[in-house]
Structure formats: C-alpha cells, structure tokens
Amino acid sequence: MALYVTAKTLDGQVFYTNEKIYMPIPQQLGRGQKMGRGPYEKSGLIHDSALPPRKTTKESFMIPVYTESEEHGKTIRTQIAQDFTVNVEIWYLPYGKKDDPGNAQKWFAVTKNMHLPADQK
C-alpha cells in the first residue's frame, strides 16, 4: 500500500512529490536485519508500517512552493506559482509496483486546487 502526494503548477510542472509505504517487512529466516523475500525464507518481522486495524494513521506534508538560489552569498527565494494543484493518491500494490495492470489498484485519488497570496513583502 502506498500514499503519493504530488504538487503541480497549472501547466503540469511537478514541483513536489512524496510517498509513504505501508507494509510489513519480514525477517529473513528469523535472524539478522535483512528482509526475507519469498514465503520460504520469511520468518519474523524487522519492521512493520502496515495500517493497523481500527486505527487512524495521520500523515502531514509541508510542501515548499518556492525554489532557492544563491546570489552574491545571499539566498534568494522564488515563489513557484500562486495557483497550483495538490494530488493525493492511495494505491494497493500487491507486487510493489504501480505499472502492473490487473494487480495494482488505485483505491483513492483527489486533486485540490490551491491558491497563495502574491509574493510581496
């Protein structure tokens, strides 16, 4: 399971992406810090980010809508856009990849239109 957050300008330029992966990471043969892959070598868990039942998992993303550059030793910020979109998608990826017709499932998608005040002091 994966959560994707993407911010785009109105002409389609992506200026921010982030993702969170939700899955158990099984241990290899019940020893050490290496992930086990096939069921024949999985035993135990080394980490688990799967969504627990009956619980609400909260994720927060702070998206910078600017770029930074150096000019004469000074940091200059340039606002990317006043209007842009933020897209949030949740995918179920049984084999770990999105491009997998019939298996990968898009469970949820929403696009929000965002507006910022002008970049003036």
What does 66 bind: ligand HEC, another protein, none (CB cut-off 5 to 8 Å by kind)?
another protein
The correct pick among 11, 12, 33, 39 for binding ligand HEC (CB under 6 A) is 39
The residue type found at 65 is V
Residue 31 Cβ, how far from another protein at the closest point, in Å? 12
- If we measure between CA atoms, which residue out of 76, 90, 82, 92 comes closest to residue 114? 82
107 forms part of the interface with ligand HEC (CB under 6 A):
no
Is 102 a binder of ligand HEC (CB under 6 A)?
no
Indicate which of ligand HEC, another protein, none lies near residue 121 (CB less than 5 to 8 Å, by partner kind): another protein
Closest approach of ligand HEC to the CB of residue 94, in Å: 6
* Cβ-contact 111, 86 below 8 angstroms: yes
Does 40 engage in binding with ligand HEC (CB under 6 A)? yes
Residues 6+ apart with CB under 8 A from 43: 26, 27, 28, 29, 30, 36
Phi, psi of 24, rounded to the nearest 5 degrees = -75, 145
Nearest approach, Cβ of residue 99 and another protein (Å): 14
Report how far residue 37's alpha carbon sits from residue 67's, in angstroms, rounded to the nearest whole number: 40
